[in-house]
Amino acid sequence: MPICVESDIVSARRAVREAATHAGFGTTDVTRLVTAASELARNIYKYAGTGNMIWREIRSGELHGIEIRFVDSGPGIVDLEAAMVAGYSTTDGLGMGLPGAKRLTDEMEVTTAPGKGTSITVRKWLGASGS
């Protein structure tokens, strides 16, 4: 789903809440995913202006889970290392966004380059398939 106006952040949260619940995650895990999505969706809105959130249920052997991708063609993250280390600060900045989302999910992949946009993929796994 597209992320271009401020109200899309709420829409993103709702979509993830529904998808995560459907995938079988418990309330705490659903809240984690919703919060991570909120952080990453807001990043798109704030730094790239527009982007997209794509999600799907995934399977790997006995495990099954959810994968959410946040893609934009914004300015890209110049210093990814610094962004990942950034802790909670009172100043504006990527702040909690990336490291926060990383802590709340099982896997996170970031592909970015200055001027070339950003793609962030997060995954969270559940127990055995079908449960």
Partner 1 sequence: MKSENISVIKIRDVLMVTMPADPEDETVSGLQSQTLEAMAQNEVRGLILDLSRVESLDSYFARTVTETARMVTLMGGETIIAGMRPPVAITATQLGLKLGALRTALNVDAALTMVGETKAGKRWQ
Partner 2 sequence: MNKSRSIPVMNGKSATVDTPMTAEMFALMLDNVTEYAITMLDVEGHVLTWTPAGERMKGYKPNEIIGKHFSVFYPQEDVDAGKPDRELENTLREGRFEDEGWRVRKDGSKFWANDVITALRDPNGKLKGIARISRDLTARKHSEEQIRRQTQEILEMATVPVVQVWEGILLVPLIGMLDSDRSQQLMERLLERITQTTSTVALLDITGVPAIDTQTARHLVETIKAVRFIGADVVLTGVRPSIAQTLVHLGVDLDGITTRSSLTGGLRVALGMLQLKVVAEHSE
CA 20, 21, 26, 27 dihedral sign is positive
12 part of the interface to partner 1, by CB under 8 A: no
Give whichever of 28 and 91 is closer to partner 2, judged by the CB atom: 28
**Pairing of β 117-128 and β 51-60:** unpaired
Q: How far apart are CA 47 and CA 68, in angstroms?
A: 19
The stretch among 31-39, 56-64, 67-75, 107-115 that binds partner 1 (CB under 8 A) is 31-39
Q: How far apart are CA 83 and CA 98, in angstroms?
A: 7
- The site for partner 1 (CB under 8 A) is made up of 6-7, 9-11, 13-14, 17, 27-28, 30-32, 34-35, 38-39, 42, 87-88, 90, 95-97, 99-100, 103-104
Residues contributing to the site for partner 2 (CB under 8 A): 28, 130-131
